[in-house]
Chain A
């Protein structure tokens, strides 16, 4: 196969895998609702696409999925496209530089870090667009911090950094367990995936 053909093949693979990430990010809401789970599962697709195709594809999957979720689920998603981009970049960096996908403990630690990053990136949006409210139980923690004299931005950032790590650790662990469980036949279709030694 010529180099240009291989490149075309890879380009089309990226084009075909990004919609999978979009569908996983948006559609897993149906699984969460069906199983009545208290988590979001809105970044599993971004994490999987980043691990399989790299950070550019991860950002595309994350951003596009939130634009689509804004139409199909809730228009408030559109404000958090930056968080998805940050998740893709973070996952790419920790997977390539720190070899996070090699053990479950590394995944847990990286998941906590991912939650803190997501909480910090979301905080300015929550303050500017929603006045500090997120419409979840997290608001009680924010209110508690505000009543103790903290500034709204700091209160939102702290409440995010406290509540997001649980959700994001679960999502990163879920994505990791899915990657590990994928049959070799499927994994072989993604020769440029990151963390190959770990998955």
Chain B
């Protein structure tokens, strides 16, 4: 999909989800997005996110919305939660659809290294581009270094058993990571200044050809426009 179409599709999907109030329409949209994600190998991410993040929010929303409704005299105690259920479902499904759209749009870019093309298409250039690319690169590096530090401490018999023990270990785990990263950042800044990185990045052309606006982009745009129409229709 072309970077331009990818960005527009994400905006349309998010706008549709934000406008939609019907839980059925939102559920169908989430299912379609989950299937699309599964086709590019991201189905697990979408489903895991729904279970880990959305399910607790749905429960919390049901609890709080239910308590906002006064119980009907003579009715069962749970009737107030039954009244609140559609609103709580719409709310959590809306977040799930927005999340799925976000993940489907951006995760393939980061994993596939096509982020720079996408960002430049959407006018993220100069310093913002340097910071974004630096952040993406350093997060992966920090995770690797964290694993190394934790494994080396475990090998020395310094693994934490209790939560309090783990909490006390935190500064000792973080210090080598922070020192390394700040030192490396200072050295990197010298190098960037000497090589004038911001200007060089402006002139950089990726070796991989930018995907053009093809049938996939057109189909995705039509689907997303259709979703926006459905969301407006059901309001």
Q: Give a binary string over B5-27; 1 marks a CB under 8 Å from any A CB, 0 the rest.
A: 00000000000000000000000
Which stretch from A101-109, A117-125, A141-149 is at the chain B interface? A141-149
Cross-chain contact A18 with B134 (CB below 8 angstroms):
yes
Which stretch from A64-72, A82-90, A91-99 is at the chain B interface? A64-72
Interface residues on A, range: 35 or more
Cross-chain contact B139 with A75 (CB below 8 angstroms):
no
A19 CA to B127 CA in the complex, in Å? 11
Q: Give a binary string over A15-46; 1 marks a CB under 8 Å from any B CB, 0 the rest.
A: 11111101110111011001111110000100
B208 within 8 A of A: no
B82 within 8 A of A: no
Total residue contacts A-B, CB cutoff 8 A: 210
Residues in B neighbouring A38, C-beta threshold 8 A: 163
Contact among A52, A74, A139 for B53, CB-based, below 8 A: A74
B138 within 8 A of A: yes
A191 CA to B152 CA in the complex, in Å? 33
Cross-chain contact A27 with B60 (CB below 8 angstroms):
no
Residues in B neighbouring A139, C-beta threshold 8 A: 56, 59-60, 63-64
Residues in B neighbouring A142, C-beta threshold 8 A: 60, 64
Cross-chain contact A132 with B60 (CB below 8 angstroms):
yes
Q: Give a binary string over B154-179; 1 marks a CB under 8 Å from any A CB, 0 the rest.
A: 00000010010011011101110011
Of chain B, the residue at the smallest CB distance from A188 is B186
A65 smallest CB distance to B (angstroms): 7
Cross-chain contact A15 with B134 (CB below 8 angstroms):
yes
A136 within 8 A of B: yes
Chain B contributes a number of interface residues (CB within 8 A of A) equal to: 65
A171 CA to B175 CA in the complex, in Å? 14
**Given A64-B135, A132-B60, A189-B182, A146 and B68 touching (CB < 8 A)?**
yes
B113 smallest CB distance to A (angstroms): 14
Cross-chain contact B138 with A8 (CB below 8 angstroms):
no
A18 CA to B181 CA in the complex, in Å? 11
Contact among A8, A23, A37 for B139, CB-based, below 8 A: A23
B132 within 8 A of A: yes
B55 smallest CB distance to A (angstroms): 8
A9 within 8 A of B: yes
A78 CA to B103 CA in the complex, in Å? 12
Name, among A38, A60, A68, the residue most crowded by chain B CB atoms within 10 Å (CB to CB).
A68
B225 within 8 A of A: no
Residues in B neighbouring A134, C-beta threshold 8 A: 57, 60
B125 within 8 A of A: no
A116 within 8 A of B: no
Cross-chain contact B131 with A15 (CB below 8 angstroms):
yes
Residues in B neighbouring A192, C-beta threshold 8 A: none
A134 CA to B91 CA in the complex, in Å? 12
Q: Give a binary string over B121-160; 1 marks a CB under 8 Å from any A CB, 0 the rest.
A: 0000001001110111111011100110010000000001
A162 within 8 A of B: no
Cross-chain contact A71 with B173 (CB below 8 angstroms):
no
Q: Give a binary string over A43-68; 1 marks a CB under 8 Å from any B CB, 0 the rest.
A: 01000100010000000100011001
Chain B interface (Cβ within 8 Å of chain A)? 49, 53-54, 56-61, 63-65, 67-68, 87-88, 91, 95, 98-99, 102-103, 106-107, 110, 127, 130-132, 134-139, 141-143, 146-147, 150, 160, 163, 166-167, 169-171, 173-175, 178-179, 181-183, 185-186, 188-190, 192-193, 197-198
- A-B pairs with beta carbons under 8 Å apart, 6 shown: A8-B193, A16-B192, A19-B137, A22-B135, A44-B174, A64-B132
* Further 19 A-B residue pairs, CB within 8 A, beyond A12-B197, A16-B192, A75-B99: A9-B193, A13-B185, A17-B185, A18-B131, A22-B139, A27-B142, A35-B166, A52-B182, A64-B132, A64-B135, A65-B135, A78-B102, A130-B60, A133-B59, A142-B60, A147-B67, A152-B64, A152-B68, A170-B167
Please give me the 7 A-B residue pairs with the lowest Cβ-Cβ distance, nearest first. Answer: A133-B60, A19-B134, A27-B142, A139-B60, A22-B135, A23-B138, A135-B56
